[in-house]
Amino acid sequence: MYVQKIEGLTGQRLWGEYGAMTCGNIAESDMQQIVADDQGGVMDLWRDDRAGGPYDYLYFQHLDASGQPLLQANGILVNAPYGIPGAVIYDGVADGTGGAVFGLWLGATAPGLLRLNGMGQTQWQWSGSYLGISSPTSVSRHPQLGTIWFNSGTNYQGTVTHHLNQFTLEGTPLFGSQGLPVGGSIMPTDSGVIGVLANYNVSPRQIEAGRVEADGTILWQVIMAQSPEIGNYMVAASDGQNGAVAAWEDGRNWSQTLSDIYAQRVQANGSLGAGPPGGITLTSPPPPVQIPPGGGSFPFDVALENFSGTSLPCDAWIMVRLPNQSWYGPVLGPLGLILPPGATLTRQRIQAVPGNAPAGAYWYEGRLGDYPGLIWDSSGFAFTKLGTGEGLGTGEGWACTGETFPGETPSDGPLPSTFRLSASPNPFNPVTAIRLHLPETSRLTLRVYDTAGRLVQEVMDGWRAAGEHPAAFDGSALPSGIYWLRAQAADPSGTALWSAVEKLVLLK
């Protein structure tokens, strides 16, 4: 058996043309597992049949940074003189002190851990007491915690269970004898690990993930993907942000002998995908934010950000959680916006709180997404109302004023009482200004049709707050003639609230 060391930038072979030999041709060898030490060398664990008899045994060799063996030729027997018969080697990791910890399958009944020092001497050995045949294991050393995380699974009478445990370097399991029901490849986070597993024992098959804290708290468990044709090859890696990325063979679009490769990301909070396309940040005044019984107001800053490299259509709105834990609002929006690529939009605002609002603790929350059900990101802060006054008091209603957003109607005037649509000039050439008065927050569509009923332009489609909304229709690319402008408003359930039609005359 040979090991080769490759220079990372150039690909140069550093241990000769054929590599450095760890064991000569003296026996049939397999299950080789190598672990890099912290001095540029490598530790190699394998099994072979040199001893004869019904079992293979484990052997160990340590090569220095130049590829020279530190132990006797062909390695040493692990746990001499008796050895460890029949073990299967699945994984290994450096222990941070010059040795390594290996994950094993100890026959047909239990997984195991084996810690060796750099000379191949056993520091400790642990064997699980699980009933059934152990599935492949995963071993990881947490760089901050310094602990060893070990995952294994068992299959007994068709029932698959998973066992994730954390060990001190002295070999003490921290999550009991059975561990936690989280499986798969292990990747460290700042405060624990994520395990990602391909589960073939459900229908359809699943890619599963779970995040565990150092104290054993399971923060979340999610299904990353489902397909009846998930294959036998799945790899996973940390995303560098306390999440993970998995890739796997998948035959859902199978064509003769060809399969596809699919991938999915799970974020630190357990949500799937590449992350939100945009973000919102609300910055409060210095705490505590307190409102007197008669009502008042507080200033705040809001920032909207487009994380993507393309224009981002989105809705922004603000909700208030009342002392009884119910939500009120929106007190701002929803604002239908289009954020330019990479842009950050900031505004300074003032929120009024009416005197008749009940006393207690409130939560003020800005949201970005697709109103009302899809929230990409949220941000907020707490405030307290010290008592309940009479009437609306100071800061009448829940008015939110200040620097306006694009398309926002200033809230210092009365809201429209009726749904109205107008266009001016009319006749026009080639642009006419449109004004629409909306009595309450609605999903608003504004479309232009020709006399045959064909759609020629969609002017507006999205959620708009109550107020006056300007728009424009540009007929530069259209011939002279008569066109029909149709406005429709609907509530969150899709029920029509209002509609209006305006005749437009384009004269060129």
Q: Cα separation of 119 and 459, whole Å? A: 75
- 435 falls in which pLDDT band (50, 70, 90)? confident
pLDDT at 182: 86
Per-residue pLDDT of 159-189, as tens digits, reads 667 788 999 999 999 998 788 888 788 999 9
Indicate the residue among 274, 304, 328 that finishes a domain. 274
**Claim to verify: residue 148 and residue 22 sit in the same structural domain:** yes
- Taking alpha carbons only, the member of 233, 241, 224, 130 closest to residue 190 is 241
Higher pLDDT, 201 or 210: 210
**Claim to verify: residue 251 and residue 352 sit in the same structural domain:** no
Q: What is the dihedral of CA 395, 400, 401, 407, to 10 degrees?
A: -150
Strands 100-106 and 42-48: unpaired
Tell me the pTM. Answer: 0.56
Q: Cα separation of 62 and 73, whole Å? A: 10
Q: Is residue 410 part of a domain?
A: no
Number of domains into which the chain is organized: 4
Per-residue pLDDT of 447-480, as tens digits, reads 999 999 999 999 888 777 777 777 888 888 899 9
**Claim to verify: residue 304 and residue 395 sit in the same structural domain:** yes
Tokens of 301: 């800053």
**Claim to verify: residue 40 and residue 152 sit in the same structural domain:** yes
pLDDT at 123: 96
* pLDDT at residue 393 tops 50: no
**Claim to verify: residue 117 and residue 232 sit in the same structural domain:** no
Per-residue pLDDT of 485-500, as tens digits, reads 999 998 867 789 999 9
Q: Cα separation of 4 and 18, whole Å? A: 7
* pLDDT at residue 256 tops 70: no
What is the domain-level CATH number for residue 299? 2.60.40.3880
Indicate the residue among 238, 258, 274 that finishes a domain. 274
223-231 LR contacts (CB < 8 Å, sep 24+)? 224/196, 224/264, 224/266, 224/272, 225/262, 225/264, 227/252, 227/262, 228/203, 228/204, 228/252, 229/205, 229/254, 229/259, 230/198, 230/200, 230/204, 230/205, 230/206, 231/259
**Claim to verify: residue 152 and residue 55 sit in the same structural domain:** yes
Domain range for 252 is 184-274
**Claim to verify: residue 129 and residue 209 sit in the same structural domain:** no
Query: Over the chain, what is the mean pLDDT?
Result: 86
DSSP per-residue codes, 30-91: EEEEEEE-TTS-EEEEEEE-TT-SS--EEEEEEE-TTS-BSSSTT-EETTTTT--TTEEEEE
Indicate the residue among 221, 239, 274 that finishes a domain. 274
**Claim to verify: residue 262 and residue 202 sit in the same structural domain:** yes
Q: Do residues 322 and 382 touch, judged by C-beta distance below 8 A?
A: no
